[in-house]
Amino acid sequence: MSTQSILPVGPKPSRALNRRQRDFLLLNIFVLARHGYVDRARVLADAMFETGDESVEVILARAVLRFADGQWAETLDELDRLDRIAPMERFGSYRLTDRQRMRRYLKTRSLFELGDKARARDAIDAYMRHGEAGLEEPE
């Protein structure tokens, strides 16, 4: 009797999702979270991340869902990961987008909840410097 592998032979199937599949799953995360199913939404976002989707949208979803659960340190970990792949800071004057303002809020609140008031104050100062109106241009 010969020994045969019970595992499939051949190329490994691609785990990457196409754009439509990703959008569908991201929409599901949003709908689940809006209806109060934060745990289910988090599982879906974590599954997308574990299958190799390290996009800005997935990492931001993971940060928001951890924040909603009061997982302050984990929220900061996700925001740090997000800062490495999509930094917010740019040189010169600029206006923060809604997404960037949300990231600043998540960071500030998480730092405050962890008792790191000095870093929370720095985050607030950075937000105020680049708030909704942005920096005023010199005349």
Q: Is the pLDDT of residue 112 over 60?
A: yes
Task: Measure the CA–CA gap between 8 and 57, rounded to whole angstroms.
Answer: 33
For residue range 62-108, what is the model confidence (pLDDT) as tens digits? 999 999 999 999 999 999 999 999 887 655 456 778 888 889 899 99
Is 137 inside any structural domain? no
Confidence grade of residue 16 (pLDDT, cut at 50, 70, 90): confident
Closest CA to 86 of 74, 76, 72, 99: 99
Task: Measure the CA–CA gap between 94 and 110, rounded to whole angstroms.
Answer: 25
For residue range 17-46, what is the model confidence (pLDDT) as tens digits? 889 999 999 999 999 999 999 999 999 999
In 3-state terms, what secondary structure has residue 57? helix
For the whole model, what pTM was predicted? 0.76
Q: Is the pLDDT of residue 59 over 90?
A: yes
Q: Is the pLDDT of residue 127 over 80?
A: no
Is 6 inside any structural domain? no
Q: Which distant-in-sequence residues (6+ apart) come within 8 Å of 62 by Cβ?
A: 42, 45, 46, 49, 78
pLDDT value for 39: 95
Q: How many structural domains comprise the chain?
A: 1
Is 136 inside any structural domain? no
Q: Is the pLDDT of residue 10 over 50?
A: no
How many Cα neighbours within 13 Å face the side chain of 67?
23
Amino acid sitting at position 106 = L
Owning domain of residue 91? 19-129
Is 37 inside any structural domain? yes
| CATH code of the domain covering residue 91 | 1.25.40.10
Is 134 inside any structural domain? no
17: which DSSP letter? P
Is 58 inside any structural domain? yes
Is 91 inside any structural domain? yes
Amino acid sitting at position 61 = A
Confidence grade of residue 139 (pLDDT, cut at 50, 70, 90): very low
